[in-house]
């Protein structure tokens, strides 16, 4: 009996101690925000395994960026990465490689046109330099992933003056860049590119050697040749593009032949034709875009119609509509536009 009473007393004291002890401090959840953590123009973006999107580099209106972040489609939020690009840069190209790595190459920096390249490693979330370099230093080129861990890179500017027609290819197996014998049919800079089935690549728009915005488009074929295809409805420089299911490609934004920032978008069809689709919530020039699961596309950043760097983002839906991501709860420096609201662009 005494043993039972003693046990009950001991249990009571223990329960009282547990009830009165201070509660452990709760760890704050990771910072989440439904707009870019930094305003970015001419950054790079690439879809990662699992649906996340890497966004890195760019220009914020006052300097070149080395910071990077991830977009998470399930939560529709952006989170900052602790790692940074090896070289702060804008106007580079990026393409996904086997195993989830991302190639980032070329671009512009304080030192001028870049030939350097680096890799993003999704497991470690780190950026590392490549010992190999672009054959031609360039910025405002286009890039698209090809089968077998290869990447097509074409066009752009370098210190030679007018836009380039040169093309090269990166091999993940060799970790080297190779000059292609064939060149673009139309020399261009600030064009768009998107991979298609069978190792083909769509390249459209951009700035011509005369400085004129282009409507023309062409295809890169697995044979290494470039061939013409249909023309866009609107000439565009500094637009974005992303592949969609069924062999379609979304092309959106940029500025037109009159220099007006655009909200409009169009679809490239497997037939070679371009057809209109819904318009973005805000005009964007120099934004980034990446495909998401379910036929959606993330579009983020860029300049708005007033020439201000944006942090806002929006989604293109399979219905053809663009939906702004809600920026409520995001902190931002004073003076930077937040929500992707209505804009005077087309």
Phi-psi region at 224: left, alpha or beta (left = phi > 0; alpha = psi -120 to 50): left
Name the domain count of the chain.
Answer: 1
116 inside domain = yes
Tens of pLDDT along 152-196?
999 999 988 899 999 999 999 999 999 999 999 999 999 999 999
Q: What is the pTM of this model?
A: 0.87
Residue 22 scores a pLDDT above 80:
no
| Structural domain includes residue 156 | yes
- Position 68 in a domain: yes
Closest listed residue to residue 119, CA positions, set 188, 155, 170 = 170
| Average confidence (pLDDT) over 212-220 | 97
Domain that holds residue 160: 31-324
Buried b vs exposed e over 177-189: b needs ≥16 C-beta within 10 Å? beebebebbbbbb
For residue 20, is it within any domain? no
Q: Cα(39)–Cα(160) distance, rounded to whole angstroms?
A: 30
Three-state DSSP at 19 gives: helix
* Residue 13 within a domain: no
Cα 37 from Cα 168, distance rounded (Å): 33
- Residues 89 and 140: their CA atoms lie apart, in Å, by 11
Instruction: Please state the rounded mean pLDDT for residues 298-318.
Output: 97
Q: What is the pLDDT of residues 219-237, one digit of tens each?
A: 999 999 999 999 999 999 9
Length of the chain: 346
- Determine, yes or no, domain membership for 319: yes
Domain CATH for 208? 2.120.10.80
d(C-alpha 252, C-alpha 233), whole Å:
11
How does pLDDT run across 93-139, given as a tens digit for each residue?
999 999 999 999 999 999 999 999 999 999 999 999 999 999 999 99
pLDDT at 216 over 50: yes
pLDDT over 80 at 26, yes or no: no
Sheet holding 249-252, edge to edge: 240-243, 249-252, 265-268, 274-277
State the pLDDT confidence band at 332, using cuts at 50, 70 and 90.
Answer: low
Q: In what order do the strands lie in the sheet with 288-292?
A: 288-292, 296-300, 313-316, 322-324
């Amino acid at each position: 009996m005494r043993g039972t009473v003693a046990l009950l007393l001991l249990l009571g004291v223990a329960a009282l101690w547990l009830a009165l002890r201070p509660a452990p401090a709760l760890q704050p959840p990771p910072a989440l925000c439904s707009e870019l953590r930094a305003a970015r123009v001419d950054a790079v973006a690439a879809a990662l395994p699992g649906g996340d999107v890497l966004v890195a580099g760019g220009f914020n209106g006052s300097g070149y960026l080395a910071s990077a972040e991830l977009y998470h489609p399930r939560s529709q939020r952006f989170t900052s990465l602790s790692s940074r690009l090896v070289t702060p840069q804008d106007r580079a190209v990026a393409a996904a490689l086997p195993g989830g790595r991302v190639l980032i190459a070329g671009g512009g920096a304080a030192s001028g046109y870049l030939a350097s390249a680096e890799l993003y490693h999704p497991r470690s979330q780190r950026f590392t330099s490549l010992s190999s370099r672009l054959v031609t230093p360039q910025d405002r080129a286009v890039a698209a992933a090809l089968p077998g861990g290869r990447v097509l890179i074409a066009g752009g500017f370098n210190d030679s003056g007018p836009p380039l027609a040169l093309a090269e290819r990166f091999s993940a197996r060799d970790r080297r860049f190779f000059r292609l014998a064939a060149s673009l049919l139309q020399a261009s800079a600030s064009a768009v590119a998107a991979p298609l089935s069978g190792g083909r690549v769509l390249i459209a728009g951009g700035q011509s050697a005369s400085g004129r915005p282009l409507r023309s488009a062409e295809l890169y074929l697995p044979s290494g040749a470039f061939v013409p295809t249909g023309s866009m409805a609107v000439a565009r420089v500094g637009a974005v593009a992303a592949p969609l299911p069924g062999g379609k490609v979304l092309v959106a934004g940029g500025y037109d032949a009159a220099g007006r920032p655009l909200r409009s978008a169009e679809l490239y069809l497997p037939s070679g034709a371009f057809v209109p689709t819904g318009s973005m919530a805000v005009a964007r020039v120099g934004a980034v875009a990446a495909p998401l699961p379910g036929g959606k596309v993330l579009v983020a950043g860029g300049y708005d119609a007033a020439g201000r760097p944006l942090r806002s983002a929006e989604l293109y839906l399979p219905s053809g509509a663009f939906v702004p991501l809600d920026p409520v709860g995001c902190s931002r420096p004073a003076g930077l536009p937040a929500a992707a609201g209505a804009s005077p662009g087309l």
